[in-house]
Amino acid sequence: MSAASEAPKVKNLADLLAVAYQIEADAVDRYNLLADQMETHNNPELVAVFRDLARAEGIHRDEIRRLAGEVDVVAHAQRMAKWKRGESPEEANLGDAHYLMTPWHALQLALKGEERALAFFKSIVETTKDPEIKRMADEFVEEEAEHVNLVHRLLRRHPKPAANWSSDPDPPIPQE
């Protein structure tokens, strides 16, 4: 999805904070959108999972805002934190959603997002020449690695469903 070459250019610390903020803000929006979809399609278990994920990403988003101090990351992100190709790393792929999906599927989406965010910040650490950006990006790498581990832990509680998880006793049937 979001290779570093497609991502906004990080030239200074304010850019990095804005991009980090936007990644979390996009994740909040995306999980809430998925929760709305599940609400509409009467999958209450997944509504709760996606709302929890949105809440968790919201906490990260607000932490970055606090971390930025006097830098207005919201306005700065609106100006520069745009992905020209692909989406921002933690935006779960809407194409993978299904009305009968299970918590395992939701966590798989979350895992992919966290792994993409981890790869994104790693690429900044590896390519930047600015020691300040490197130090901050390294902190984000540590955080994203924690999130990856957290999702793995959650996945142990929600094992992979049986192969017939999408069987619907009253499926949408094409007209005959």
Residue ranges in contact with other proteins by CB under 8 A: 29, 33-34, 36-41, 78, 82-87, 93-99, 101, 172-176
Minimum distance of other proteins from residue 39's CB (angstroms)? 7
Nearer to other proteins, 33 or 80 (CB): 33
Minimum distance of other proteins from residue 29's CB (angstroms)? 7
Transcribe 10-79 into DSSP letters. --SHHHHHHHHHHHHHHHHHHHHHHHHHHHHTT-HHHHHHHHHHHHHHHHHHHHHHHHTTTS-HHHHHHH
Nearer to other proteins, 41 or 122 (CB): 41
Minimum distance of other proteins from residue 123's CB (angstroms)? 19
Nearer to other proteins, 106 or 118 (CB): 106
* 153: nearest Cα among 118, 97, 111: 111
Nearer to other proteins, 131 or 174 (CB): 174
| b/e sequence 1-11, b meaning 16+ C-beta within 10 Å | bbebeebbebe
